[in-house]
Amino acid sequence: MYKLLIVDDEPQILEGMKRTLDWGEYGFHQIETSETKEDAIAKSVELLPDIAIFDVCIGPDLGYEIIHQLNELRLPTQYIIMSGYSEFEYAQAAIRCGVKDYLLKPVERSKLQKVIEKIIVEDLQGNLNGISRKDNTTDPILGIPYEELSKLTNRILLMVKAEYAQNITLKSVAERFRMNSTYLGQLFLKETHMKFSEYLMAYRMLQAKERILATNEKISSIAQSVGYPNLNYFYTHFQGYYGMSPSDLRK
CB 18 within 8 Å of CB 74: no
How many other CB atoms sit within 10 Å of the CB of residue 17?
25
The pLDDT value given to residue 17 = 87
Taking CB atoms within 8 Å and a gap of at least 24, the contacts of 231-234 are 234/208
**pLDDT bracket for residue 186 (50, 70, 90):** very high
Task: Please give the Cα distance from 239 to 107 (Å, whole number).
Answer: 33
Q: Tell me: the pLDDT tens digits for 45-60?
A: 888 999 999 988 888 8
The yes-or-no verdict on residue 23 having pLDDT over 70 is yes
Structural domains for the chain? 2-136 (3.40.50.2300), 146-250 (1.10.10.60)
DSSP 8-state class, residue 160 = H
Closest CA to 59 of 86, 80, 42, 38: 38
248 Cα distance to chain centroid: 30
**pLDDT bracket for residue 88 (50, 70, 90):** low
Task: Please give the Cα distance from 185 to 174 (Å, whole number).
Answer: 9
SS3 at position 219 = helix
**pLDDT bracket for residue 91 (50, 70, 90):** low
CB 18 within 8 Å of CB 40: no
Longest Cα–Cα distance of the chain, Å, equals 57
Considering only 83-92, 98-107, 219-228, which range has the smallest mean pLDDT? 83-92
CB 84 within 8 Å of CB 61: no
Mean of the pLDDT values across residues 33-45? 92
SS3 at position 10 = coil
Q: In what order do the strands lie in the sheet with 28-34?
A: 28-34, 2-7, 51-55, 78-83, 101-104
Radius of gyration of the chain (CA): 19
